[in-house]
């Protein structure tokens, strides 16, 4: 079925994000990694869905985002795409997919759009990534920037630490934000930085800012789906607000199911299929005759 003009106008685009910043209309963002989560987020009115490389930790069980591959990211982006009708879909460029050269980065960015249906890609880094970001945008692929606590730099940073706590570090993040803004990113994720610095960046750049652990003054906010609904196994970071205890509810449901199976109360007669009595009687007689 073709998309009507009216339906198209309702879809979130890069222009929608820019308008929301101009109108001071908060942008609601959330990660998703599969059809079900994407559909739930989309139907709940989320503006931007990110297939984050946090997939590595919350879905695949890795200790960091570093091991996740292009093929894994493409697979989950395709699944997420199928659940979205309205939200703007962004895919994370995983570690190693844009670090060894412009040609590699362009080829991988194109794959996300062409093979997986992403509408933009996200790249970590500031000043040092500006030229690469411009080149990808020149190839007609929108880019979302990401500065501050950049998980792909965990080894360089010595862990997941709040960034921008010194004057020099704040100045560098201001330069990074300006470089991404001038490069033409469609949005800029600010992660793990002081609220005051995020507020200043938001006021100074023309692109919408999306905060995660960066305070309420950003143009939008994003959380990891599993953190939001309580599906993670570790204590959440300070900036996470849990809106559900899905993990506890699921564990309780599985426990109850196990008890019912052990007690032979599941499945019940009402949950079983039947054949006509005459057919059943013949089957019983046939079995009895073989004994």
Cis peptide before 267 (omega within 30 of 0): yes
* CA dist 202 → 44, 177, 207, 210 (Å): 26, 9, 8, 9
d(C-alpha 163, C-alpha 157), whole Å: 9
Identify the helix (H) or strand (E) that includes residue 90: strand 88-92
CA 126-78-250 angle, 5° bins:
95
What 3-state class would DSSP assign to 23? coil
Half-sphere exposure of 260 (CA within 13 A, CB side): 10
What 3-state class would DSSP assign to 151? helix
Is the Cβ–Cβ distance between 12 and 187 less than 8 Å?
no
Could you confirm whether 191 is annotated as catalytic?
A: yes
* Residue that the structure tokens 């899905």 belong to: 246
Q: What letter does residue 125 receive in the DSSP assignment?
A: B
Within 10 Å of residue 127's Cβ, how many Cβ atoms? 15
Which contacts of 3-11 are long-range, i.e. CB under 8 A and separated by 24 or more positions?
A: 10/86, 11/85, 11/86, 11/88
E-strand stretches of 77-228: 88-92, 120-124, 143-148, 187-191, 209-212, 220-223
Q: Active-site residue among 191, 217, 248, 271?
A: 191
Catalytic residues: 191
């Amino acid at each position: 079925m073709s998309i009507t003009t009216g339906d198209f106008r309702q879809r979130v685009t890069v222009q929608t994000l820019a308008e929301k910043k101009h109108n001071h209309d908060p942008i609601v963002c959330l990660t998703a990694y599969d059809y079900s989560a994407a559909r739930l987020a989309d139907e709940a009115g989320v503006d931007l869905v990110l297939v984050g490389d946090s997939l590595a930790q919350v879905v695949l069980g890795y200790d960091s985002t570093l091991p996740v591959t292009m093929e894994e990211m493409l697979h989950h982006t395709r699944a997420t795409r199928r659940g979205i009708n309205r939200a703007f879909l962004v895919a994370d460029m995983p570690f190693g997919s844009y670090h060894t050269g412009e040609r590699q980065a362009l080829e991988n960015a194109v794959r996300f759009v062409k093979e997986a249906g992403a509408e933009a890609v996200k790249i970590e880094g500031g000043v040092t990534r500006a030229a690469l970001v411009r080149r990808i945008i020149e190839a007609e692929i929108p880019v979302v920037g990401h500065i501050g606590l950049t998980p792909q730099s965990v080894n360089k940073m010595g862990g997941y630490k709040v960034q921008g706590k010194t004057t020099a570090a704040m100045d560098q993040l201001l330069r990074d934000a300006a470089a991404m803004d001038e490069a033409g990113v469609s949005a800029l994720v600010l992660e793990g930085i002081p609220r005051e610095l995020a507020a200043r960046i938001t006021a100074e750049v023309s692109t919408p800012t999306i905060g995660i652990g960066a305070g309420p003054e950003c143009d939008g906010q994003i959380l990891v789906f599993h953190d939001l609904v309580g599906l993670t196994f570790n204590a959440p970071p300070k900036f996470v607000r849990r809106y559900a205890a899905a993990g506890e509810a699921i564990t309780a449901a599985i426990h109850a199911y196990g008890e019912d199976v052990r007690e032979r109360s599941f499945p019940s007669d009402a949950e079983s299929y039947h054949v006509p009595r005459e057919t059943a009687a013949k089957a019983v007689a046939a079995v009895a005759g073989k004994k």
